[in-house]
Amino acid sequence: MRRSLKGDGGAWVNLYVDRFLDYMAAERGVAANTLSAYRNDLGQLTEFLEQQSPRSSNVWRTADPQTITAYIIHLHDRGYSGTTRARKVASARSLFGFLVEEDVISEDPMENVKSPRTGRSLPKALAIEEIESLMDAAEGDTYEASRDRAMLELLYATGMRVSELTSLDLADIDLPQGFVRCFGKSAKERLVPIHPQAADVLRDYLEQGRPRLKSKTSGEALFLNQRGARLTRQGLWLILKRVALRAGITVKITPHMLRHSFATHLLRGGAPLRHVQELLGHASITTTQVYTHLTSEHVRTEYQNSHPRA
């Protein structure tokens, strides 16, 4: 039996879902099995929105991008596969588009929210103990060792991409202020803080290591190879592989694992997802969400503490 519409927010929610399903059947000719999947997906969305805004008379009007982001994380926490999550998000996107067309809501909260990627696996995050072993193994009394330790410390301290690190120039480092400037995808500039330990190691390289590696072809490049030219991505990967072997790390290690470890360890430590997004240089927070598979409890806590209706 359908609940009374008057004064019952949940019934209004069901009304709009029913109207959407009627539209999909009559106007779009959607098959019965697809309608059943829509009903299941949107029922789950409805339940989540009602839990987030229990006092709202119409949760569709109070849903915002933050709420949708929390819903996507919720789906991940429930253990759904990437394909299933993508389908459920697509169902929600279709419904919100319908609600905009029907003037039920004025803005689509999913307009700038990307669907979960399917079939994508991220490299394993190193344990903190493995990071420490890696840094210790990079130590040495040679100029190359000074460079290697500085590169690895900077990668883990900032979460920079390998291409961003190898393209750094001297002017991009501000040790007194504790910042590094890097240029990400589409040449988007961002400033990333450097913690004191990484700054000290980098200062040592600038004072002791780089002057001895420098040649006439060095230009303003920050990290140099043995010939004094700018270090390449391939050169950095070989250095990391060699250091990891000395550290006794048996898993296949890549430079991106340091970026992944940076994000994972920050989130485990309670850093807000939005802050990690900025540090990584992600245009969309949905991209950053792939780093939360081990840290969803921290993300949920931050969301509940910050969202006005949580």
Q: Where does the chain hold its CATH 1.10.150.130 domain(s)?
A: 9-119
Fold of 128-268: hpI Integrase; Chain A (1.10.443)
Using pLDDT thresholds of 50, 70 and 90, give the confidence band for residue 306.
low
pLDDT for position 276:
83
Catalytic residue among 87, 149, 161, 210: 161
Is the pLDDT higher at 243 or at 23?
243
- Percent of the chain topping pLDDT 90: 43
59-82 mean pLDDT: 86
Residue 4 has pLDDT above 50, yes or no: no
Q: Where does the chain hold its CATH 1.10.443.10 domain(s)?
A: 128-268
Active-site residue flag, 256: yes
Catalytic residue among 74, 88, 259, 260: 259
Is the pLDDT higher at 222 or at 289?
222
The mean pLDDT of the chain is: 83
- Region of 171 (left: φ > 0; alpha: ψ -120 to 50; beta: rest) is alpha
Residue 7 has pLDDT above 50, yes or no: no
Active-site residue flag, 161: yes
Are the C-beta atoms of residues 43 and 10 closer than 8 Å to each other?
Answer: no
Residue 1 has pLDDT above 90, yes or no: no
Angle at 192 (CA atoms; ends 189, 194), nearest 5 degrees? 150
Using pLDDT thresholds of 50, 70 and 90, give the confidence band for residue 6.
very low
Active-site residue flag, 259: yes
pTM beyond 0.75: the answer is no
Active-site residue flag, 216: no
Catalytic residue among 214, 256, 307, 309: 256
Residue 301 has pLDDT above 80, yes or no: no
pLDDT for position 255:
86
Active-site residue flag, 185: yes
Catalytic residue among 156, 282, 298, 303: 282
Is the pLDDT higher at 33 or at 270?
33
- Per-residue pLDDT tens digits for 174-208: 999 999 998 877 678 889 999 999 999 999 999 99
Residue 5 has pLDDT above 50, yes or no: no
- Per-residue pLDDT tens digits for 26-37: 877 888 888 899
Q: How far is CA 224 from the centre of its chain?
A: 30
- As a CATH number, domain 9-119 is 1.10.150.130
- Per-residue pLDDT tens digits for 141-174: 899 999 999 999 999 999 998 889 999 999 999 9
Residue 246 has pLDDT above 50, yes or no: yes
Active-site residue flag, 80: no
pLDDT for position 9:
43
- Per-residue pLDDT tens digits for 99-121: 998 888 988 998 877 766 655 55
How far is the C-alpha of 165 from the C-alpha of 200, rounded, in Å?
17
Catalytic residue among 38, 205, 291, 303: 291
Are the C-beta atoms of residues 268 and 131 closer than 8 Å to each other?
Answer: no
